[in-house]
Structure 1
Amino acid sequence: MSPWIYVASLSDYVAGRLHGEWIAADQNPEDIGAEVTAMLAASPEPYAEEWAIHDHDGFDGIEIHEYDSLETVAALAQLVTEHPPEVVGYLRGEGLEPEDIAEAIEDRFCGVHDSLADYACEWIDDVGDLPEVYRNYRWSIAQAMAHDWEVGGEYTTVRTSEGLAVLANV
């Protein structure tokens, strides 16, 4: 589902009327702004100029605040359409701004796996120099590595609808 915001005219709200519009958030801020301006122009209130975000959908748990800038909303919408929303929400919860979230995903995101041990198996396979004598024990080694990574804080995992997202903490 695409991310949407419901933008309401505050003049209408104060006058006891609900006047607003659902706007697709996965577009550039200027286009969102143009739709907000058109919504305000269609208001029955003569001086409708102020607006607020009263609802949102499709951001999968990421909180969109009443007065978030259209730049922030558009950036978050773009991120949740390109990456697991749960990962975007987790990084937003770390206090990161959208541009920092994009950078953190590029630097830290190791993909979605069934478990941290499955990621460790892939890591072992990618390294590719596990001695032949240990190849039969690859899964046990991966489980031990996953345990050490988790206890040592080297990786963070985030449950997503697709599996377990792995983020490096380096």
Structure 2
Amino acid sequence: HRPVTRHYEGFEGARLSEYASFETVCALAEFITEHGALGAKLHREFGDNLEQARAAFEDYAGSYHSAADFAEEVTRDSGTEIPASLDYYIDWQALARDMAMNGEIMVFQTGFDEVHIFWSR
């Protein structure tokens, strides 16, 4: 068998097997066209499994300037009252890091000031 793909561009770093079928190449190209670099990062995160990468978007929490912004928003939206006198003592970055380390969220950085958050299920 001859390889279908040897050199490819425009896949935002997503990996393809040399012997990937034409259908696989087209499906991945469509996914990358729709989701860009974020789609490629998800594809890699899930071991190049396109179906798992697609399914991850069911748990997409959104785009934020930082994971800390996400942690703060989730906390405030939960109805938790934070007294103004304590507000400056909360380390939102540490909270976001703990959420990621505990497996609650997955964080993907796609730009200097842009992260995408997914809930881990």
TM-score with structure 1 setting the length: 0.56
Flag structure 2 segments of 5+ consecutive residues without an equivalent: none
1:158 to 97, 108, 112: 108
Deviation readout 1:1-35 (Å, 9 max, x if unpaired): xxxxxxxxx9xxxxxxxxxxxxxxxxxxxxxxxxx
Say yes or no: does 1:119 pair with 2:70: yes
- Pairs aligned (count): 120
- Tell which structure's C-alpha radius of gyration is larger: 1
1:67 to 12, 16, 19: 19
Q: Which amino acid aligns with 1:58?
A: G
Q: Which amino acid aligns with 2:67?
A: L
Say yes or no: does 1:98 pair with 2:77: no
Q: How far, CA to CA, are the matches of 2:61 and 2:106 in structure 1?
A: 10
Q: Which has the higher contact order (CA 8 A, sep 6+)?
A: 2
Q: Which amino acid aligns with 2:87?
A: Y
TM-score with structure 2 setting the length: 0.74
Aligned-residue CA RMSD (Å): 3.0
Structure 1 match to 2:37: 85
After TM superposition, which residue ranges in structure 1, 4 or more long, deviate above 4 angstroms? none
Task: Give the share of equivalent positions with the same residue, in percent.
Answer: 29
Structure 1 stretch displaced more, 134-143 or 50-59: 134-143
Higher strand share: 1
* TM-aligned CA deviation for residue 62 of structure 1: 0.6
Partner secondary structure for residue 158 of structure 1: strand
Structure 2 match to 1:52: 4
Q: Which amino acid aligns with 2:19?
A: Y
1:148 to 84, 89, 98: 98
